[in-house]
Amino acid sequence: MTYTLILLRHGHSEWNAKNLFTGWVDVDLNDQGRAEAARGGELLVENGVLPDVLYTSRLKRAINTANLALATADRGWIDVKRDWRLNERHYGALQGKDKAQTLAEFGEEQFMEWRRSYDTPPPALADDSEFSQVGDPRYADLGDAVPRTECLKDVLVRLLPYWESDIKEDLKAGKTVLVTAHGNSLRALVKHLDGISDDDIAALNIPTGIPLVYELDEDFQPVNPGGRYLDPEAAAESIKAVANQGKK
Ligand SMILES: O=C(O)[C@@H](CO)OP(=O)(O)O
Work out which ligand 1 atom sits closest to the CA atom of 242. 9
Q: Which residues of the chain have pLDDT under 70?
A: 248
Q: What is the pLDDT of residue 248?
A: 56
Helix orientation angle between 31-46 and 60-72, rounded to the nearest 10 degrees: 40
Which position among 36, 88, 150, 182 bears the catalytic label? 88
ipTM entry: 0.95
> CA 134, CA 182: separation in Å to the nearest integer?
20
**What are the extents of the domains in the chain?**
3-243
Q: Are 183 and 13 in contact (CB under 8 A)?
A: no
CATH number corresponding to 3-243:
3.40.50.1240
Is 88 in the active site?
yes
User: Which residues form the pocket of ligand 1, taking CB atoms under 6 Å from any ligand atom?
Assistant: 16, 21-23, 88, 91, 115, 183-184, 242, 245
Is 10 in the active site?
yes
Q: Which amino acid is at 103?
A: L
Q: Is 228 helix (H, G, I), strand (E, B) or coil?
A: strand
Q: What is the pLDDT of residue 152?
A: 98
Q: What is the pLDDT of residue 1?
A: 86
DSSP states along 18-42: HTB--TTS-PPB-HHHHHHHHHHHH
Q: Which of 15, 88, 116, 133 to mutate to test the pocket of ligand 1 (most atoms within 8 A of CB)?
A: 88
Phi first, then psi, for residue 71 (nearest 5°) are -60, -45
Q: Which amino acid is at 113?
A: E
**Residue closest to 116 by CA, chosen among 191, 26, 36, 214:** 191
